Structure 1
Amino acid sequence: MTTHGDHDGAVESATAVAPMPGTPAGARPTGLPETSGRPGTPPARYAVGMFGTSIPINMFTAFMAYFYIVELGMDGRAYAAVMGVYAVIDAIDNPVYGYLSDRTRSRWGRRRPWMILAAPILAISFILFFSPPTGLEGTTLIVWFAVFTVLTGTSDSLVNANYGALLPELFPNERRRAVANSLRQGFQLVAMIISVALTPMITTAIGYSRTAMIFGAVAAVVIIFCALGAREDPRALSAEQPRLLDSLRVIVANRKFWLIAVTSGLYSAGMALVIAAVAFFVKYTLRLPEGNATYLLATVIGISAMCLLLWTRLVRRYGPEPIWRIALIVLALALASMSLANSLATAIVCGALVGLGYSGVMATMDLIVARLLDEDTARTGVRREGMFLSAFGFFNRLNAFVKSLGFLAVAALFGFHSGDDTGTRPDEAARFLLSTFPFVLVTCAAILSRFVRFDRGAAAEIVPTGTIDGPAGAEVAEAAAVHDPNTGARVSDDDPPAAPRQAGEPPRA
């Protein structure tokens, strides 16, 4: 579904120019000038970028451990050590890239130049990661692994710090944002089917290096195509540049940021470990050929894709917060059920449940983050989506550190070090990586999500609808959803928005 933003210009001029608390009605915040109507970015054009960003990094995260530990014989403890260092570097570079993106001012926009620059770097480093020279072993193999792990990860961070920051800017209306997010998650699932579920079969046929060449080239083309089609808000170029220390203070002082960031990081780490562990689980627990991992991965991803529309409809009716919490609970229970799988058939059934929960979190996680960004922009009048999303990326990128803890744990508990030194209980080690550890992580995420609350009515008070006449005011009230801006009463997205309160009119009882 592709729609054009004929009405988004009105919504953007209403939401993105919110007056600061205490600003007289009708006043505009400093640094955000009037804007003429501009055509919106088609949701599908933006969403396809997720296919480009996902196809290399999914193969990278899913098969890096298996490729270097099992295929090349690198010691799992060396893998864990490199991933620990990489996690720190990858977490630090996210805020740096976000800060640079927010402060960029160019005729091409703030985000697009960075995406176009990073796309070929990501493709080349990804290809070289899966193409080590023949004969590398020991220290030289570890060095190669470390260098291209960092280069692939940091170029991916640069792409995503800018791609993710475009979502709230391009689609300020929450309903249209939900459509764009659903489309991009759909593209991500298609990418996962290709780069995760089908990769065992593809690499068996043509090898890891050629597979990476194809995926890398496709990724670069799609990312650049997405960037060229993104129509950034021209007001952002003349808006006040966010100051680093001020932004850090605002982010660190925001309680909801910490709750959402840790929740997202735990969930992200849990699923990253699940995807990385599937090949180990199939080989050592189910004792089946590596290619059978395709069936299990395809089940998880396929069910996720089929359920995405269902979750999106629930989000549009009830709002993202309650659906987010339910999805995390479903995912945690599904991961627990994986510990009972003892055949490919039972693993596929449990994997379908994992796909159900995974789909729900995918449909809601970015919308929860976008709500926080809306709230910050409304309260401060400063656009710092890049800094906020990169701060979230700091926690999400720590999943590499958590993955390293998982492999250290199986080395200590089960004696599993590499494909040449699996210890006496490799089946239990693989089950621990796939089910036990991820279940603990996602359960903690589900508990923390209970403490995240947004008062959309309060946000509407910060962005007074009374200062906006006509359809734009109604759009703002609609975008506020969940709580009516006039009464504070909860409403569904199917209810018509209440008439906007006029400037100077006291809150209605």
Structure 2
Amino acid sequence: MRAAIVGEERTVSSHAAPTAASDDGPGHASDGTAARTPPWRYAIGMFGTSIPINMVKGSVILYYVDILGLDVRAYGVVMTIYAIIDAIDNPILGYLSDRTRTRFGRRRPWLVVGAPLLAASMIALFSAPAGLDGVALVLWFAVFAILTEAFDSVLNANYGALLPELFPRERQRAVANGLRQGFQLVALVISLAVTPLLTTQVFGTEETTGGFATTAILYAAVACIVIVYMAVGVRENPRYAADRRPALLSGVAAIVRNPLFWKVGLVGACYGVAMALVLSGVQLYVRYSLGLPVADALFLQAVVILVAAGGLAVWTRIVARRGALWTWRVAYAILAVSFAGLFLATGLVPAMLAGALVGIGWSGMLATNDLIVARVLDADASTHGEHREGLFLSAFGFFGRLNGVITGLALTSLGVFFGYNSGDDPGQDPGLAFRMYLCVYPFVLTTIGAVASRLVSVPEPTADQALGGTAAAAVEKTGR
């Protein structure tokens, strides 16, 4: 089996075919299918969901470990505890979303409520009271880090579940995914590249925390506005809500018995964890490995993100010609090779050149990874006759939460091997420590992922999916 060519317009199933042009009401067409949602309106939501969580990923280690002095071992313990909690709550959150039935849709209420909760928890995370240390600092970090990640899970499970529903044809899906990844990269320019400048120079200094709180408030307000604007503008398919409500235990059992869940989840996790290490370590890589001010991370991050943004259109065209699976494998290999250059870089310019190659590989993964996951969701809906994308994506979120565990273990290993325990106790060679963290660990992970991706296949479209929307509807009505 291989990935379907994106150029062939196909639908998820005859139950989701958007065929009508006239509306009976908000979000409804004359035959009961969904009114079309403009791809840009859905895609802009990625801008809102990306800003807060990527500030967390990019700055939380600098804030807590390097400035406030939280021990890396405590950081690792908190991330491990959260992974256990997340393994339990994620499927439940997805299950509740799939079973939600309101006149506003299944996913939109969760998005509208989840946005301010994520914003509030992120602001608290970066507003630790002055003088906190020891157990009190660990507890503050643990509570608000876990809440922030949990509300992020709520948003992303519901937001991600809308992609196959709103855009059942793979050509439409590829366009919408390309647009949303573009919005994500714009958000990354702000939440990663610009953040060090705002936190350490505009609103604060490299040795104080006030700039982080101010920046978090600014980002939280923007994220809430964008997410709510997106949520009220999408039009969910009412036929999905008419399906029987998925059961929790049988649904989870069916997912964990699905070999594609494990194959795609584990291979994707190699990429996700690698990029989580890069995003969380780049500011300390610049400070210790390159010996430059933290604010200079702006230039390295900007190059990576801008190259990735520019590459999205190219990778999307490659997907249309060669298919998502083939393109995914090629992008994985390029990303793996790119980390060698970052390890060898000795100054900002060489690091920026190596970062450009990282951006090329990363761009290819952004253009394809969600398409591979969407194929798995399509196959599950076709096999079981239930639209349980929320539960399935929440289960996939388990692999995503490995990011926190492995990031914590990787950071803890710096204390074991290089003596880096915190900003107060950086050890003899923190520069080599963060070359290991930012370059060697991601290289090993993406190399494993690139090799393993050769062993992954995704289902070809079913007969219903191969039909255009109008044809599928005709077959359903005539029974032929």
| TM-score > 0.5 by shorter chain | yes
Residue 422 (1) aligns with residue 426 (2)? yes
8 Å CA contact retained: 1:91, 1:398: no
Report the CA distance between 1:108 and its aligned residue. Answer: 1.1
Q: 1:476 to 1:316 in 2, by over 3 A?
A: farther
**C-alpha offsets along residues 70-127 of structure 1, whole Å, 9 cap, x if unaligned?**
1111111111111221222233322111111111111111111111111111001101
Give how far 1:377 is off: 1.2
CA gap 1:132/1:464 in 2 versus in 1, 3 angstroms: closer
Aligned to 1:460: 462
Q: Which whole-Å CA distance do the structure 2 matches of 1:348 and 1:476 have between them?
A: 55
Counterpart pick for 2:471 among 470, 473, 479: 473
Contact 1:327 / 1:358 at 8 angstroms: preserved in 2? yes
The corresponding residue for 1:44 is: 40
1:142 to 115, 120, 138: 138
Assess if the C-alpha contact under 8 Å between 1:161 and 1:390 holds in 2: yes
Write the distance in 1 (CA, Å) between the matches of 2:139 and 2:458: 46
What residue ranges of structure 1 are gaps of 5+ in the alignment?
Answer: 1-7, 18-33, 478-501, 505-509
TM-score of the two chains, using structure 2 as the length reference: 0.90
**Change in 2 beyond 3 A, CA 1:343/1:104:** same
Q: Provide the rounded CA distance (Å) in 1 between the counterparts of 2:443 and 2:120.
A: 35
Report the structure number with the largest CA radius of gyration: 1
Matched, 1:298 2:296: no
Q: Confirm or deny: 8 A CA contact 2:12 2:465 kept in the other structure.
A: no
- Over residues 17-50 of structure 1, what are the superposed CA-to-partner deviations in whole Å (9 max), with x where a residue is unaligned? 8xxxxxxxxxxxxxxxx94354211111100100
Q: Is the 8 A contact 2:329 2:454 kept in 1?
A: yes
What amino acid does structure 2 have at the position aligned with 1:450?
R
Match of 1:196 in 2: 192
**What residue is the counterpart of 2:455 in the other structure?**
451
User: 2:366 & 2:465 partners in 1: Cα distance?
Assistant: 31
Please, which of 123, 128, 131 is the counterpart of residue 127 of structure 1? 123
Question: Are residue 117 (structure 1) and residue 81 (structure 2) matched?
Answer: no
Cα distance change of structure 1 residues 14 and 187 upon mapping to structure 2, 3 Å threshold: same
Corresponding residue number in structure 2 for 1:265: 269
d(CA) in 2 for partners of 1:245 and 1:313? Answer: 40
Q: Distance in 2 between matches of 1:169 and 1:245?
A: 23
Structure 1 Cα separation of the partners of residues 86 and 350 of structure 2: 37
**Residue 309 of structure 1 aligns to which amino acid in structure 2?**
A
Asked whether the equivalents of residues 47 and 183 of structure 1 are also in contact (C-alpha less than 8 Å), the reply is yes
Q: Specify the alignment match of 1:362 in structure 2.
A: 366
2:326 matched residue in structure 1: 322
Comparing 83-92 and 145-154, the one that deviates more: 83-92
Structure 1: distance between partners of 2:258 and 2:130: 50
Change (3 A) 1:415 1:476: farther
Paired with 2:174 and 2:407, the residues of 1 have a C-alpha distance of 31
Contact 2:240–2:387 at 8 Å: present in 1 too?
A: yes
Shift of residue 503, structure 1, vs aligned partner: 7.8
2:381 maps to a residue whose letter is T
**Would you say the 8 A contact 2:372–2:458 is kept in 1?**
no
**What CA distance in whole angstroms lies between the structure 2 residues aligned with 1:475 and 1:198?**
49
**Shift of residue 132 of structure 1?**
1.0
**1:229-271, Cα deviation, whole Å (9 max, x unpaired):** 1111101111111111221222112111111000111211110
**Secondary structure of the corresponding residue to residue 198 of structure 1:** helix
Partner of 1:280 in structure 2? 284
Tell me, which stretches of 5 or more residues in structure 2 are unaligned? Answer: 1-8, 18-29, 204-210
Percent identity for Structure 1 against Structure 2? 50
1:272–1:403 Cα contact (<8 Å) kept: yes
Using the TM superposition, give the Cα deviation of residue 473 of structure 1 relative to its aligned residue in structure 2, in angstroms: 3.0
Residues 1:12 and 1:333: Cα distance change in structure 2 (over 3 Å): closer
Residue 460 of structure 1 and its aligned partner are, at CA, apart by 2.3
Match in the other structure for 1:160: 156
Q: SS at 1:245's partner residue?
A: helix
Deviations 1:131-175 (CA, angstroms, capped at 9, x unpaired): 111111121111111111011110111111100000000000100
The 5 Å alignment of 1:84-103 reads: 84-103=80-99
1: CA distance between counterparts of 2:85 and 2:414?
24
Distance 1:362 1:12, change over 3 A: closer
Return the letter of the residue paired with 2:321. R
Asked if residue 14 in structure 1 is aligned to residue 14 in structure 2, the reply is yes
**Contact 2:376–2:459 at 8 Å: present in 1 too?**
no
Aligned AA (2:424): D
User: What does the per-residue CA deviation read over 1:336-391, in whole Å, with 9 as the maximum and x for residues that have no partner?
Assistant: 22211111111111100000000000000000000111111112211111111111
Q: Tell me if structure 2 keeps the 8 A contact 1:35–1:235.
A: no
Cα distance in structure 2, aligned partners of 1:273 and 1:99: 30
Alpha-carbon separation, structure 2, partners of 1:153 and 1:199: 19
Q: Residues 88 and 398 of structure 1 are in contact (CA less than 8 Å); yes or no, is this contact kept in structure 2?
A: no
State the match for 1:233 in structure 2: 237
For the residue of structure 1 that corresponds to 2:69, the secondary structure is: coil
Within the candidate set 215, 219, 222, 1:215 is matched to 219
Cα separation, 1, equivalents of 2:155 and 2:279: 22
Pair 1:353 & 2:357 matched? yes
Say which SS state the counterpart of residue 462 (structure 2) adopts.
helix
Distance in 2 (CA, whole Å) between partners of 1:13 and 1:337 is 45
Counterpart of 1:399? 403
* Two-structure CA RMSD over aligned residues (Å): 2.2
Conserved in 2, the CA contact under 8 Å of 1:16 and 1:377? Answer: no
SS at match of 2:48: helix
Pair 1:309-2:305 in alignment: no
Instruction: Say which of 396, 421, 432 aligns to 2:436.
Output: 432
Aligned length: 451
Is the counterpart of residue 387 in structure 1 residue 391 in structure 2? yes
The answer to whether the Cα contact below 8 Å between 2:419 and 2:428 also exists between their aligned partners in 1 is yes
- Aligned partner letter, 2:462: A
Q: What is the TM-score of this pair, normalised by structure 1?
A: 0.85
Conserved in 2, the CA contact under 8 Å of 1:201 and 1:294?
yes
Q: Which has the higher contact order (CA 8 A, sep 6+)?
A: 2
Match among 23, 36, 57 for residue 61 of structure 1: 57
Q: 1:174 to 1:476 in 2, by over 3 A?
A: farther
Q: CA deviation at 1:176?
A: 0.5
Q: 1:440 to 1:124 in 2, by over 3 A?
A: same
* Partner SS for 1:355: helix
Question: Given the superposition, is the C-alpha separation of residues 12 and 335 from structure 1 closer, same or farther in structure 2, using an over 3 Å criterion?
Answer: closer
Q: Alpha-carbon deviation of 1:471? A: 6.5
